[in-house]
Structure 1
């Protein structure tokens, strides 16, 4: 069960246009992010018990975003990357109301009608919200320089997970210098 929850944690976006990940970024105003050009992975998600395929998708997505910004991976990079994941179970209540049962009525001299009782049905829906956190640290000063988080409802479908990871990471790095 825990393995399934960890797998689900990495899917940050529902398939299609149904949902958009909630993304937040923060940077140290004193850090010159434009001055960094190399990075190394200090801690990858697979070191946290995350399933290997899901962890690799996260690493590949982050690597692709950084390469697109002109960064290169190096054994002794300017920046050390750390990726974390977290999941949380949430619930919603879906209530359906059936309108009151109205009796018939008609035109003409005889109007008739009646009201019956309506019905209400409530269903509890449990879902998982996953959050991916990517932290960057200056390797010389050991100070945090940037953090990005992406959160959304997760899917158990591996294809949807892959698409979700890529969409969440891409949004996370959209405004990255």
Structure 2
């Protein structure tokens, strides 16, 4: 079975070694992919290879002033809650483990011409709910006119409970 894919999608992200073999291409922008059902590259892995994925830049300087932004490579179905988890636990490695303290904002810039003919740029900021898909929302905006910002609740109170005082026989690490 042969499948024609754009060259930039030939890297196999499902395994460490590239098991996809390419033959001479019929045109410069496409390469031919050869595989069968017994090869290590199964059809499911190939579907993952073709899944719609993009880089999403999220500005994190409100949470960690020493970082300007972090870039995530996510699928179109990735939710806001999953993005927050990836950022807090894996990318920023924050010690705060309560994900309810964090939220994701989408800043949308719109440009209009005023009566004099000058371009005015307005900023609208939307707080995304946990089930929204940021890549879907970004597709609705012109390129470069939206960005995502990770924020943290200001009025939240962190409480440390020493449960040994409440129940002496309880052992927690």
Normalised by the length of structure 2, the TM-score is: 0.24
Normalised by the length of structure 1, the TM-score is: 0.23
Query: Of the two, which has the highest radius of gyration?
Result: 1
* Higher RCO structure, 1 or 2 (CA under 8 Å, sep 6+): 1
* The structure with more helix, counted as a fraction of residues: 1
